[in-house]
Amino acid sequence: MLVVNTFRDNYSWYPEWISKRITKDNSSKELQDYFVNSLEYRRYVISSYQKIYNVYLPNLQYGIVELKNLLKSINERIDK
């Protein structure tokens, strides 16, 4: 939400960005420049991916262990 608020409050191209699918052919030069060249945007993207990865991977590892335990329990019941 912080990113959206930052864009909304600081960039004139925000309505354009939020209202349509952005392509090279249908967007303003300012909007294209921001998403292609902005260090701020790159930092947002990297930070977002890092946060997702840091949460996702441990949860995935935990889920795999739990699923293996569940499978083991199911197989034990089947074998009885």
Residue 4 belongs to domain spanning: 1-37
Determine the pLDDT at residue 25: 80
C-alpha torsion 36→41→47→53, nearest 10: -40
Determine the Cα–Cα distance for residues 55 and 33; give it in Å rounded to an integer.
31
Name the domain count of the chain: 2
Q: Are residues 8 and 33 in the same domain?
A: yes
Q: Are residues 11 and 29 in the same domain?
A: yes
Determine the pLDDT at residue 52: 86
User: Would you say 34 and 11 are in contact if contact means Cβ atoms under 8 Å apart?
Assistant: yes
Determine the pLDDT at residue 1: 63
Query: pLDDT tens string for the chain (80 positions)?
Result: 667 788 888 888 888 878 877 777 878 888 888 888 999 989 988 988 898 889 888 899 999 999 999 999 999 999 98
Q: State the sign of the Cα–Cα–Cα–Cα dihedral 38, 18, 55, 74.
A: negative
User: Would you say 28 and 11 are in contact if contact means Cβ atoms under 8 Å apart?
Assistant: no
Q: Are residues 4 and 33 in the same domain?
A: yes
Q: Are residues 1 and 33 in the same domain?
A: yes
Q: Are residues 20 and 50 in the same domain?
A: no
